[in-house]
């Protein structure tokens, strides 16, 4: 107590002022008080907003799993995270989880599984493409022959996107479902995709302009005057084989080491 009185002593000359201020405050309208409080609240809200905007500007640390419907993205997502097998259905929204890469640095990426359905994929890609550090493009190798045009179209859309082109995230083409006997090899898939993308370059550049005048795909894929090859792209492209289901059925382990290795190198 003694200490406190000591501390108050030097403030003594100020006391009348404080007293008068307090009196003035009491004389004032409560409206003014409310005004002061509102001002304080505005400051607090501004701080919150600032934090909001600053945090939204994050480093690109997301690994996107994209691909057509039924390519096995969700199962791959589960396998990468926990190694377990789960049944899956068509996703109607994205799911994300932190993924610890299997390297010495122990770096952690956010693994995001995007829905593959035609009417959803562009919307979700729009949402996450700017955060992508790497894109895992999952292809169903078993029915690739049937879907080659759809796969190529999606890949074309992805590769000619301005944001993707600027950021140039690593592209991993995961040729999934290698456990099925009829599955195509990664090499064959790469060749077919190159051929198909070459054709698409022609047809897509002739596509009608949209109503608002914007022409689809302002980015030219690959080098002009040459047949398209993945090596011409600004980003690193890697083709690898994997099997999210695994060759030993539902209870067996997945065959995704090659993908894990590539993810570790990011």
Q: How far is the CB of 79 from another protein (least distance, A)?
A: 9
Q: How many CB atoms lie within 10 A of CB 51?
A: 10
Q: How far is the CB of 72 from another protein (least distance, A)?
A: 11
Of 1, 6, 209, 249, the one binding another protein by CB under 8 A: 209
Q: Is 100 in the site for another protein (CB under 8 A)?
A: no
Stretch of residues binding another protein (CB under 8 A), selected from 172-180, 202-210, 247-255, 258-266: 202-210
Nearer to another protein (CB atom), residue 19 or residue 126: 126
Q: How far is the CB of 153 from another protein (least distance, A)?
A: 5
Contacts with another protein, 115-154, as mask; x by CB under 8 A: x-xxxx-xx-------------------------xx--x-
Q: Is 91 in the site for another protein (CB under 8 A)?
A: yes
Taking each helix axis as running N to C, give the angle between helix 144-159 and helix 186-205, from 0 to 180 degrees, rounded to the nearest 10.
60
Q: How many residues bind another protein (CB under 8 A)?
A: 50
Rounded Cα–Cα distance for residues 243 and 247 (Å) = 8
Nearest to 137 by CA among 125, 150, 119, 155: 155
With a CB cutoff of 8 Å and minimum separation 6, the contacts of 254 are 79, 83, 85, 242, 243, 244, 245, 246
Q: Is 94 in the site for another protein (CB under 8 A)?
A: yes
Nearest to 262 by CA among 175, 197, 194: 175
Bridge-partner residues for 221, per DSSP? none
Q: Is 200 in the site for another protein (CB under 8 A)?
A: yes
Secondary structure (3-state) at 166: helix
Task: Judge whether 129 and 145 are in contact, CB under 8 Å.
Answer: no
Q: How many CB atoms lie within 10 A of CB 93?
A: 9
Contacts with another protein, 10-39, as mask; x by CB under 8 A: ------------------------x--xx-
Q: How many CB atoms lie within 10 A of CB 56?
A: 7
Q: Is 163 in the site for another protein (CB under 8 A)?
A: no
Binding site for another protein (CB under 8 A): 34, 37-38, 41, 69-70, 74, 77-78, 81-82, 84, 86-98, 113, 115, 117-120, 122-123, 149-150, 153, 199-200, 202-204, 206-212, 214, 216
């Amino acid at each position: 107590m003694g200490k406190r009185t000591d501390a108050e002593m030097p403030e003594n000359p100020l006391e009348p002022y404080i007293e008068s201020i307090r009196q003035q405050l009491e004389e004032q309208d409560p409206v003014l008080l409310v005004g002061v409080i509102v001002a304080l609240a505005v400051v607090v809200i501004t701080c919150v907003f600032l934090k909001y905007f600053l945090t939204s500007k994050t480093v690109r640390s997301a690994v996107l799993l994209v691909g057509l419907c039924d390519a096995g993205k969700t199962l791959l997502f589960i396998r990468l995270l926990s190694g377990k097998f789960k049944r899956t259905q068509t996703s109607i929204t994205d799911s994300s989880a932190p993924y610890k890469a299997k390297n010495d640095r122990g770096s952690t990426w956010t693994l995001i599984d995007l829905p593959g359905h035609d009417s959803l994929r562009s919307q979700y890609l729009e949402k996450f493409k700017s955060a992508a550090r790497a894109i895992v493009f999952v292809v169903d190798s078993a029915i690739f022959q049937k879907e080659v045009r759809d796969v190529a179209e999606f890949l074309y859309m992805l590769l000619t996107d301005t944001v993707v082109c600027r950021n140039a995230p690593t592209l991993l083409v995961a040729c999934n479902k290698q456990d099925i006997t009829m599955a195509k090899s990664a090499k064959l898939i790469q060749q077919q995709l190159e051929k198909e993308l070459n054709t698409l370059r022609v047809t897509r550049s002739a596509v009608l302009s949209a109503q608002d005048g914007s022409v689809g795909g302002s980015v030219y894929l690959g080098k002009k005057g040459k047949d398209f090859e993945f090596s011409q792209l600004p980003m690193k492209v890697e083709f690898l084989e994997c099997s999210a289901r695994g060759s030993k059925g539902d209870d067996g382990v997945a065959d995704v080491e090659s993908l894990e290795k590539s993810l570790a190198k990011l």
